[in-house]
Structure 1
Amino acid sequence: MFRLAIDRSRARVGLVGLAFAAVFATLSGRLVTMALFPDEPSTSAQRAANGGATSFRPDILDRNGEVMATDIRTVSVFLEPGNLTDVDEAVELLTAVLPDVDGSELRKRIDAKRESLRKRGNKRDSGFVWVRRDITPKQQAEVHRLGIPGIGFLQDHKRVYPNGTAAAHIIGATNLDNAGIAGIEKYIDKTGLKDLNSFGFIEKATDLAPVQLSIDLRAQHALRDELAWGLSHYSAKAAAGMILDVTTGEVIALASLPDFDPNNPADALNPDRINRMNVGVYEMGSTFKAMTLAMALDSGKFTVNSTFDTRGGVLNWGRQKIHEYHGTNRVITMPEVFTHSSNIGSAKMALGIGVPGHKAFLRKMGLLDRMRTELPESAEPIVPPRWTEINTITIAFGHGLAVAPIQAAAAVAAISNGGFLMTPTFLKRTEEEAKAKATPVLAPQTSEAMRFIMRLNAVEGSAKKASIPYYYVGGKTGTAEKVINGRYVKNRLFTTFMAAAPMNKPKYLFVTIMDEPQAVAAESGSYATAAWNSGVVTGRTIARVAPILGLPPQFEPPQNPFPLMVKLGAYHATQVDGR
């Protein structure tokens, strides 16, 4: 009996000991949890925090796999207004550690949330207010040391752009919630990323395949650098440019200055920082003569041997007088219309086609409708509301129709690539994929004739500044007077240069635009026209970028580059070889 009592006592002591051990383990675990996660929020605050957490986004890469945008882990700090014991003290301490937090604004949000909680009367809900998103580890430690009740931290992530301003107008930017607000970032959200995040299908950034762009980051840096030089050297208001692969429609590089850093996207709201290649609409000047000549040749009504009488230097049309800029005062051939940039010759070609045919051709070339690319930002062309013969005359040499430069570039690319119109893309694709979506708009012989004429212009005409040795460049200048208050202003110019290389088999189109460039007396005297600024910048860009893009130099002139032109007796080889 005595032994039984002892056994029972031992069992009870063991049971009590086990209970104490369990309680001790629970308390120890809780203390460890509190030590590791001292600021665990209430359930309601956790829900609010998770609802406000940023979305995961895929990396954005250039065509060679270089990272252009990625997510990094950060920490954000919030507070539960219902758990604050002294609001004034909390705000004062927090703003001392986080000086960029607006104390009065934070106090208003806290008071508003506390008042909302009071009206609802839900004592379990302590509320939720963001204090600061994306704080540094040092700032997190300083906030933690403040010992303010109701403060919590949330593991977060933010978007970073390691190349700064490079390709800013292409990539775009995100807001504090990591949602795309411009450029490719906004395009990505429209593909369904936002919905996937909202339904919780994406738990980490590695769940997402990267988005690979057509951009070559090396060429992008070089293009922007040359545009920055031109902007400064010619004291222009703005400059922009692009490199387009004419065989695929891929945009290899695009820049518009002044630009912005997507790591600080607030600067993008400045109206001066628009993407001029996509969003700006401009009269493109004499670069439009490439459209006019292509139209005339493709119609079959004209050939490269057609002639045009420009004697007198003036074309009278009703009360309008069309003048030449550098008139020859003689009968000139079609190639000479291009190399001498004849307004009269261009006007006579367009009149020969007629208003309906002219409009139909420009529409076919994608110049009368808004161009849609992956970038959400785009512009509607400014088309004459009533299109008469005088409109056809002026549009033939680049006045009276305003388009986005990227539209004009796509049209010139079609003229040079054999006659296939491709909507430019900012995503990497193959030549086969591009051809499957391309629209034939010109006969192959028209394209060959235009390549010959563009090359001739680089040897004998206004494109000499971009005629880089060994790359067989061809192109066209364009100078347009800007329209201010409904009137053309002679000393405020918008200049354009488009050049393709190599002209025997074009691969890339180089485009430069400059807004109100000024003459550099030591170089051009009093000239501020395209050849003396946009042309120079284009030449510098080609010389710098061609080796990067693997465009091989041709130390010997290509053999028989324009067989049809030889057959028609339109030229001798020395004309286009520059020998």
Structure 2
Amino acid sequence: MIGSLPKFKVRLPAGLALPFRRKSGTADANTIVVDGARKATGGRTRTRVVMTMAVFLGIYAAIAGRLVWLGFQEPDNSGPPASRVTASRPDIVDRNGEVLATDIKTASLYAEPRHIVDADEAIEKLATVLPEIDYEQTYHKLKSGAGFVWLQRQLTPKQQAEILQLGIPGIGFRTEKRRFYPAGSTAAYIVGLTNIDNQGISGMEKYIDQQGLTALQQSGLADPKDLKPVKLSVDLRVQHVVHDEITTGMERFHAIAAGAVVFNIKTGEVVAMASVPDFDPNNPYNAQDKNRLNRMSAGLYEMGSTFKSFTTAMVLDDGDATLNSRFDASHPLRVGRQTIHDFHGKGRVLTLPEVFIYSSNIGSAREALAVGIDGHRAFLHRLGILERMNTELPEVARPTEPRVWKQVNSITIAFGHGVSTTPLQTAVGCAALMNGFLMEPTFLKRTEQEAMETAKRVVKDSTVAAMRYVYALNAEKGSGRNARVPGYRVGGKTGTAEKVVNGRYSKDKNFNAFVAAFPMDDPQYIVLTIADEPKPEKPGMGATAASNAGIMAHNIIARSAAMLGVKPDFSHENGATLVSLDE
């Protein structure tokens, strides 16, 4: 270094003198000391050091000032959402542990428009993998200058890999969770749906959120390891049978819709329930179509002659009639401006069982007259037929009834016209007639003991015995013959109701239903099937409930009875017996 050079001496030749400063005190006048170079270079070094320190101090001051400034700014929300473990959901399984809904990981595509070099080129490349992408909308997103925008949620692994190969700067992927439904549409209306953010929006998915899952997610406590599966009362095997039969039945009988429910009389569990048309929850593009409705719990219908089950039980339970009572159905019944006819009238006096198996409107009207308006309305409310059903499924419709019951209302309601209720409520009410207790339906697994803790006695044991008898008799000699299944002692009641079109009852559009119970010596299950606006299967064939809804009930019982644990018994096949029970 120049600044550290040692002093050196220069001796001049004799006689030569230079104007340099001589060092005083030296013995030789011609000896001089040169230290100017050292002093000059040393000053420059110090200057450089000071300047360097000043630059670094300035940089650090700028950084510190920037950090202070950022500390007072609002957080930038334009970036990608933070990773949320709270998006996890518990699995939904059937009563045997078969998975109905589960979380899977998926990739979602996002962009950072500030880093997009050429928006047009980026869209053209993305369109080769995502042909459905909206060019104009995506262009505006990429030119927005925002820090973050979603481009496509929930890609397939193949789509993600192909987009990565495009090498587009300014785009990326975020791992998310989406719901996967292994059973597809089989149990779509029961299991329900989640939205793009994995939040329940229908069915049991929505119910789970309402029970506290949303709060757990928001607090960050919804750890997948801690979320136990939600076990439903549904048996996927039976659910498949029900879904298959109503799908086939809708096509076979040229109906606009069909549905069915299998209900456990002893526990109040819904073992299977389906309605078609339905949707695939893995691709629910048509889930909001107006004809995609869970008709079993959210559809309101006049249930037709299935209501005669309640009318018959009512007149028996109130003590106004017995199985030996007779009702005059020899001629039409006039009430005000209306005249009540029988579809296939016998033109004579009928016993109470004959009123039931011949499905006499006149006989049912006279049964209602015997009880009275107030007693009739009170009985239906006692069975829950006219109350909004209390169950886990969110999609439940509220039944309708006349604001003021007049005599004509009571008479028409006796054979299933004038009030609207859901098929599931009808099944629950009929189950109460088979064991005497009303149980709120549940889609969660429940034992018989748990069910009886909240069950309400609604009819007498003698009424139960009589109703089992007339159900079995109707399958033997009446309109329920098509529903019989050898070995399983099926009983039930048909219902063919004219639909209201433009305020009037239509003669060519029916809503058909069949309610079946089995085995009739000690009923375990109710099977209720519906067919909306069915047509004759073939020219010349009928289109009443016995010809379509009854056949669907037969097929469901025949295919699922063994799965339900009901053992066949051929010892007293096709025999309607009355069992007397002490009250």
TM range (shorter): 0.7 to 0.9
* 8 Å contact kept, 2:86–2:218: no
Structure 1 range deviating more: 333-342 or 92-101: 92-101
Q: Which amino acid counterpart does residue 397 of structure 2 have in structure 1?
A: A
Between structures 1 and 2, the one with greater helix share: 1
* Unpaired runs of at least 5, structure 1: 1-42, 118-126, 568-579
* 8 Å contact kept, 2:116–2:142: no
Structure 1 position 560, deviation (Å)? 10
Structure 1 range deviating more: 228-237 or 138-147: 138-147
- Please give the alpha-carbon distance, in whole angstroms, between the structure 2 residues aligned to 1:52 and 1:209: 19
- Of residues 461, 475, 480 in structure 2, which corresponds to 1:458? 475
* Aligned residue number for residue 131 of structure 1: 151
- Of residues 331, 353, 370 in structure 1, which corresponds to 2:388? 370
* Aligned residue number for residue 28 of structure 2: none
- Of residues 412, 419, 423 in structure 2, which corresponds to 1:405? 423
- Of residues 272, 276, 284 in structure 1, which corresponds to 2:303? 284
* 8 Å contact kept, 2:269–2:444: yes
* Aligned residue number for residue 80 of structure 2: 48
**Counterpart mapping for 1:87-166 below 5 A:** 87-112=119-144, 114=145, 127-166=147-186
- Please give the alpha-carbon distance, in whole angstroms, between the structure 1 residues aligned to 2:440 and 2:532: 25
* Aligned residue number for residue 396 of structure 1: 414
* 8 Å contact kept, 1:54–1:157: no
TM normalised by structure 1 equals: 0.84
3-state DSSP of counterpart to 2:285 = helix
* Aligned residue number for residue 508 of structure 1: 525
Structure 1 range deviating more: 231-240 or 92-101: 92-101
- Of residues 546, 555, 565 in structure 1, which corresponds to 2:570? 555
Q: Verify: 1:76 aligned to 2:94, yes or no.
A: no
Q: Verify: 1:234 aligned to 2:253, yes or no.
A: yes
* 8 Å contact kept, 1:53–1:177: no
Structure 1 range deviating more: 101-110 or 174-183: 101-110
* Aligned residue number for residue 572 of structure 1: none
- Please give the alpha-carbon distance, in whole angstroms, between the structure 1 residues aligned to 2:436 and 2:129: 63
Structure 1 range deviating more: 424-433 or 367-376: 367-376
Q: Verify: 1:176 aligned to 2:193, yes or no.
A: no
* Aligned residue number for residue 311 of structure 1: 330
- Of residues 498, 516, 534 in structure 1, which corresponds to 2:515? 498
**Counterpart mapping for 1:319-330 below 5 A:** 319-330=337-348
C-alpha distance after superposition, 1:457-497 (max 9, x if no partner): 11111111111111111100000000000100111111000
- Please give the alpha-carbon distance, in whole angstroms, between the structure 2 residues aligned to 1:489 and 1:251: 33
- Please give the alpha-carbon distance, in whole angstroms, between the structure 1 residues aligned to 2:226 and 2:451: 29
* Aligned residue number for residue 213 of structure 2: 193
Structure 1 range deviating more: 355-364 or 74-83: 74-83
Structure 1 position 144, deviation (Å)? 2.6
Structure 1 position 408, deviation (Å)? 0.8
Q: Which amino acid counterpart does residue 459 of structure 1 have in structure 2?
A: E
Structure 1 position 47, deviation (Å)? 6.0
* Unpaired runs of at least 5, structure 2: 1-74
- Please give the alpha-carbon distance, in whole angstroms, between the structure 1 residues aligned to 2:264 and 2:447: 11
- Please give the alpha-carbon distance, in whole angstroms, between the structure 2 residues aligned to 1:422 and 1:111: 60
- Please give the alpha-carbon distance, in whole angstroms, between the structure 2 residues aligned to 1:109 and 1:194: 30
C-alpha distance after superposition, 1:499-539 (max 9, x if no partner): 000111110101110011111347xx342111111111111
* 8 Å contact kept, 1:468–1:542: yes
3-state DSSP of counterpart to 2:580 = helix
**Counterpart mapping for 1:14-25 below 5 A:** none
* 8 Å contact kept, 1:80–1:151: yes
Structure 1 position 285, deviation (Å)? 0.5
- Please give the alpha-carbon distance, in whole angstroms, between the structure 2 residues aligned to 1:108 and 1:181: 30
- Please give the alpha-carbon distance, in whole angstroms, between the structure 2 residues aligned to 1:140 and 1:563: 68
* 8 Å contact kept, 1:306–1:333: yes
* 8 Å contact kept, 1:362–1:368: yes
- Please give the alpha-carbon distance, in whole angstroms, between the structure 1 residues aligned to 2:334 and 2:244: 45
Structure 1 position 207, deviation (Å)? 2.4
* 8 Å contact kept, 1:54–1:177: no
* Aligned residue number for residue 28 of structure 1: none
* 8 Å contact kept, 1:495–1:514: yes
* Aligned residue number for residue 428 of structure 1: 445
* Aligned residue number for residue 564 of structure 1: 580
3-state DSSP of counterpart to 1:58 = coil
- Please give the alpha-carbon distance, in whole angstroms, between the structure 2 residues aligned to 1:157 and 1:543: 40
3-state DSSP of counterpart to 2:101 = strand
- Of residues 243, 265, 269 in structure 2, which corresponds to 1:224? 243
- Please give the alpha-carbon distance, in whole angstroms, between the structure 2 residues aligned to 1:229 and 1:77: 40
* 8 Å contact kept, 2:476–2:576: no
3-state DSSP of counterpart to 1:518 = coil
3-state DSSP of counterpart to 1:167 = helix
* Aligned residue number for residue 545 of structure 1: 560
Q: Which amino acid counterpart does residue 562 of structure 2 have in structure 1?
A: P
Structure 1 position 562, deviation (Å)? 3.4
Decide whether aligned partners of structure 1 residues 44 and 207 sit closer, same or farther in structure 2, where only a CA change above 3 A counts: farther
Structure 1 position 175, deviation (Å)? 1.2
Q: Verify: 1:477 aligned to 2:477, yes or no.
A: no
- Please give the alpha-carbon distance, in whole angstroms, between the structure 2 residues aligned to 1:354 and 1:206: 59
3-state DSSP of counterpart to 2:185 = coil
C-alpha distance after superposition, 1:432-466 (max 9, x if no partner): 11111111111111111101111111111111111
- Please give the alpha-carbon distance, in whole angstroms, between the structure 2 residues aligned to 1:136 and 1:481: 48
RMSD across aligned positions (CA): 2.1
Q: Which amino acid counterpart does residue 100 of structure 1 have in structure 2?
A: E
C-alpha distance after superposition, 1:156-212 (max 9, x if no partner): 221111111111111111111111111111111111111211221124x33210011
Decide whether aligned partners of structure 1 residues 490 and 73 sit closer, same or farther in structure 2, where only a CA change above 3 A counts: same
**Counterpart mapping for 1:55-74 below 5 A:** 55-74=87-106
- Please give the alpha-carbon distance, in whole angstroms, between the structure 1 residues aligned to 2:576 and 2:512: 33
Q: Verify: 1:207 aligned to 2:201, yes or no.
A: no
Q: Which amino acid counterpart does residue 124 of structure 2 have in structure 1?
A: E
- Please give the alpha-carbon distance, in whole angstroms, between the structure 2 residues aligned to 1:345 and 1:87: 77
C-alpha distance after superposition, 1:315-348 (max 9, x if no partner): 1122211001111111211111101111111111
Decide whether aligned partners of structure 1 residues 526 and 155 sit closer, same or farther in structure 2, where only a CA change above 3 A counts: closer
- Please give the alpha-carbon distance, in whole angstroms, between the structure 1 residues aligned to 2:356 and 2:393: 33
Report the count of equivalent residues: 508
* Aligned residue number for residue 528 of structure 1: 543
- Please give the alpha-carbon distance, in whole angstroms, between the structure 2 residues aligned to 1:145 and 1:44: 30
Structure 1 range deviating more: 376-385 or 143-152: 143-152
Q: Which amino acid counterpart does residue 522 of structure 2 have in structure 1?
A: K
Q: Which amino acid counterpart does residue 207 of structure 2 have in structure 1?
A: Y
Q: Which amino acid counterpart does residue 494 of structure 1 have in structure 2?
A: F
- Please give the alpha-carbon distance, in whole angstroms, between the structure 2 residues aligned to 1:165 and 1:131: 28
* 8 Å contact kept, 1:54–1:158: no
